[in-house]
Chain A
């Protein structure tokens, strides 16, 4: 009896110990919400690969559902009657799917997306605006990522969505993972709310309505599909899940084509007010009569600059010589008013520079001079005049870069007469 009693005590102690220390954590325990409970996350049989790693499953049987009527299905609709059709989540749509749009919201409608992040709230309130995907990746757009916004079609804020992304070149179907990369498989953790996919959901109680909400995510508001391939067109569609056995069909699909890593450049010749002027090649700047006081050409050299290369760009300049065929006006970096060598001079001076987004454009000090007639010299060796980089908070990519450069020259009384001409060449290169 004593022995049996001791054994009982021992077993009770052991069970008690196990009960205290065994963790009750289950993966994906946060699936429950105020609208539904996922007791054992299951997907309907028609939804594709289920990668649960266990053999447990549940079934939902429906008896007496009328399915033989041919009018219930067509190429453009599917009408379900009876249970469980009434509990399916609403089929979602894609609000926007973009990689290379370039306009602000409310502007000329190239972008259909509503949420791009601002670096700071405006007037004390969180507002959403932006310059499309070129404002995120630089001109002409993104080459390895894209942005999707989902139209929930009336589904509640905690509805889960699965995004399918098919590479049209290889015909391989991928699924958006919880880390925003792609994989050919998926599990319940890759079903995410709009807040989790987009980092923003304006609906009350979503947990990411404003920048003070914990799930507000600036990065996801810029781009939320990663690891895409340059030049490839992808077909994207979304389906919804709102509890066990409620998974909807995929909604209408949209396509997105990724850009390549690119350089964007153009030259225009116009006066000081030529910010929006577009001129055609061949391009020439007339210096007019070069005298012994500094001459500034009436027209500036205007340039459009852009790149989506992560490390940025470098714009260099070189020339042949300002010469009449026999004599050359020298070009060195100097103040032409002072003209230390008393031999005249010739060069460039940066007038203005700006960009729509990213960068900024960094002028080289050689040409971004202080004195009104201080110029940077030109030679057959390329010299950097503008660049972008990733140092500090700078961004290499740039969108809508626009610069203007003055051309100045000065002769001396000993400068031989003649028609002096030159060819200035700008070379645009990406930074590795």
Chain B
């Protein structure tokens, strides 16, 4: 009996052991799992922020992978590589309190699969030759063999222009009517050219527009924004060309036409104006035609008068001659 009871206990124990092993699976290391076809990624934005002191923005980290994303936020400085038109990491900045205000609780965290984290950030730095960046690092243990980790850099470009920088951003607006004479425009076609040159050692972001107006009404508007998606690197220049045709009637075209370039460089506004005095060819032709007609008419009248005078003179002579003969 006792033997049977012992065997029974052994059997129960073995069955329990098997059940435990079946129900509680051992953990499998991630790299040994064949993943799904779904393409999960980590998205960090903004990739670049153009700010001034005390500007606030939101750092957004989105996790569409199948696993939680453990992150930590640090700050590094970057050099501008003008030749490669990129940036290069220079050094970590241990104490970044003079550059950014970020709540401590947001400096480390976990973003679950399918979730997004929005972290408020305030930039409190001053202009410098170096570009600071928020580094979002995937937390990873240096484990067996070769561990692989990812980092994202969210660049923060300070757009403050100091006094001497302003003078180093060259701008030029030229308006070239298609036909002029003695400085007066006789055409209704204009070539508008605008050029910017960055002679600072900083990235310069320019936006703006060129408007054409005639006293009260706007005639045309040319937005530069689609051509200025990239900032100007030090030494860069950008040239814009537009064609403007004034299709109003000749009376409306007579007078001043003003071309105004309004642009913003790193958040500061500038205006250049260029005024062209126009005499439409039709009006010039009318004036010319009227002048010609008037001159011709005056000449005709003068000649007629002369003839009349000549005729009158002859008659008078004849009358006088006739009188003389009579008196003789």
Contact = CB atoms under 8 A, between A and B. Distances in A.
B192 interface: no
A276 B35 CA distance: 8
Given A23-B282, A276-B37, A278-B38, A426 B149 contact: yes
A27 B247 contact: yes
A299 B131 CA distance: 36
Contact of A179 (B35, B135, B223, B230): B223
B11 interface: no
Interface stretch (A10-18, A38-46, A150-158, A205-213): A10-18
Contacts of B322: none
B315 interface: no
Given A22-B249, A262-B45, A421-B142, A426 B297 contact: no
Given A281-B67, A307-B47, A267 B286 contact: no
Interface in A38-82: 53
B133 A407 contact: no
Q: Which of A299, A314, A429 has the most CB of B within 10 A?
A: A429
A138 to B, nearest CB: 11
Nearest to A286: B145
Given A181-B223, A285-B145, A285-B148, A260 B60 contact: yes
A432 B155 contact: yes
B47 A283 contact: no
Interface stretch (B26-34, B254-262, B266-274): B26-34
A281 B203 contact: no
Interface stretch (A110-118, A369-377, A382-390): A382-390
Given A282-B140, A304-B41, A432-B80, A421 B30 contact: no
B226 A387 contact: no
A430 B50 CA distance: 13
Contacts of B86: 314, 384, 387, 429, 431-432
A366 B178 CA distance: 53
B140 A432 contact: no
B35 A279 contact: yes
Contacts of B84: 384
B265 interface: no
Interface residues of A, number: 78
B271 to A, nearest CB: 19
Contacts of A281: 30, 65, 67, 69-70, 138, 140
A420 to B, nearest CB: 8
Interface in A304-355: 304, 306-307, 309-311, 313-314, 316, 320, 322
A280 B65 contact: yes
B208 to A, nearest CB: 12
A73 B184 CA distance: 61
B109 to A, nearest CB: 15
B16 interface: no
Contact of B31 (A284, A309, A423, A424): A284
Interface in B37-91: 37-48, 60, 65-67, 69-70, 78, 80, 84-89
19 contacts: A14-B293, A17-B289, A53-B217, A179-B221, A226-B226, A261-B48, A263-B45, A266-B39, A268-B35, A279-B33, A280-B33, A280-B35, A282-B30, A297-B146, A421-B146, A422-B146, A427-B135, A429-B133, A432-B230
Interface of A: 6, 10, 13-14, 17-18, 21-23, 25, 27, 53, 139-140, 144, 179, 181, 226-227, 230, 259-270, 276-287, 297, 299, 301, 304, 306-307, 309-311, 313-314, 316, 320, 322, 382, 384, 387, 389-390, 407, 419-432
Given A282-B143, A426-B148, A431-B87, 14 more contacts: A264-B43, A282-B30, A284-B144, A284-B148, A286-B31, A309-B48, A314-B86, A426-B149, A426-B150, A427-B89, A428-B150, A432-B48, A432-B203, A432-B231
Interface of B: 29-31, 33-48, 60, 65-67, 69-70, 78, 80, 84-89, 131, 133, 135, 137-138, 140-155, 157, 203, 217, 221, 223, 225-226, 229-231, 233, 247-250, 282, 285-286, 289-290, 293, 297, 301
